[in-house]
Structure 1
Amino acid sequence: MGDHGRVPRHRVLVPLRWSDVDAYGHVNNVMFVRILEEARIAALGTDLLSTSRETGGALLVARQEIEYMLPLTFRIPPVPVDIWVTRIGAADFEMAYEVLDEQDGERVVYAHAETTLFAFDQWKNRPRRLRASERERLQQWADGPIQWRRRRDKAVTAP
């Protein structure tokens, strides 16, 4: 991948749990949030934004959006999740995800998702600006936005 070793999308393998499956036999929509969280933590680690109790740094979720494409059923092999950065702001950034499989050379996408995260100073109890080193590391993960399939204009019209 060009750009001097830049690898924007990271693949994380997330194991499914039997308890993730609901009465309909597929992974429950609420459990997708856990799958995304596990992929994000595995991909980012704790060192990305100096997130630790010692430094008072935290990375908090401000927004999460998921579009379900196909039912995901339980299986023993872990489910692949591709994760990358789509936007970097002053104190926040957005990460995109694809929960997917590759079967017979074809991509099967179960869900697209996007999470807005922000750097937070626990000692001062407020968001903080991203440092230059953090922005640089996030930029290495940058790739295009999610292509939402069913997004509609959110404008409200008066009756």
Structure 2
Amino acid sequence: MNEYQEVFRSTMPIRWGDMDAFGHVNNTVYFRYVEQLRIDWLEASAVPMRAGQGPVIVTASMNFRKQLHYPGQVLCVMSAKAPGRSSIDTLYELRRSDDPDVVYADGGARIVWVDYAAGKSVSLPDVLRALLPRS
């Protein structure tokens, strides 16, 4: 059963500066929302960021379904599969808090836990593994 399960959700403001000259949230900002979602998840879960080890994104994708506009709040939902030895496959949905039934963007990323000095993957911390679905 290696299916995705929701592991975290968070809301964050759509800032005026998130918009581009075309009057909608710039596509690069969607990746910033997802980045902040991952950081909020790790901090809320008290995952230890051991010296010299931590997460690296090795793949990332985003499907832009509908334009986001200021003002508002983005509801970000993160789902994950059962982890591998050092990696986690994740999915994301971005919605507006005032329009929660509509997916404005969705995407995914593979997170790999890395020893930065060695430049190699290492096993996920047990505390992080405990937060993820089991296979």
- Name the TM-score, length of structure 1 as normaliser: 0.71
Kept after mapping to 1: 8 A contact 2:81/2:133 = no
- Larger RCO (CA under 8 A, 6+ residues apart): 2
Match of 2:78 among 72, 79, 83: 83
Structure 1: where are the runs of 5+ without partners?
A: 1-6, 143-159
**Which residue identity is paired with 2:79?**
W
Structure 2: where are the runs of 5+ without partners?
A: none
**In structure 2, what is the Cα distance between the partners aligned to 1:107 and 1:19?**
25
**Which residue identity is paired with 1:33?**
F
SS in 1 for 2:6: coil
| Structure 1 residues 79 and 22: alpha-carbon distance in aligned structure 2, compared to 1, 3 A threshold | same
Aligned to 2:64: 68
Aligned to 1:116: 110
**Deviation of the 1:79 alpha carbon:** 1.0
The within-5 A match list for 1:12-51 is 12-45=10-43, 47-48=46-47, 50-51=48-49
**In structure 1, what is the Cα distance between the partners aligned to 2:11 and 2:59?**
23
Kept after mapping to 2: 8 A contact 1:87/1:95 = no
**Deviation of the 1:66 alpha carbon:** 0.3
- Name the TM-score, length of structure 2 as normaliser: 0.82
- Of structures 1 and 2, the larger Rg is shown by 1
Kept after mapping to 2: 8 A contact 1:102/1:108 = no
**Deviation of the 1:131 alpha carbon:** 4.2
The within-5 A match list for 1:90-101 is 90-101=85-96
Q: Alpha-carbon deviations, 1:90-128, whole Å to 9, x = none?
A: 211111111013557x60110001011000112433111
The within-5 A match list for 1:125-144 is 125-139=119-133
Kept after mapping to 1: 8 A contact 2:81/2:132 = no
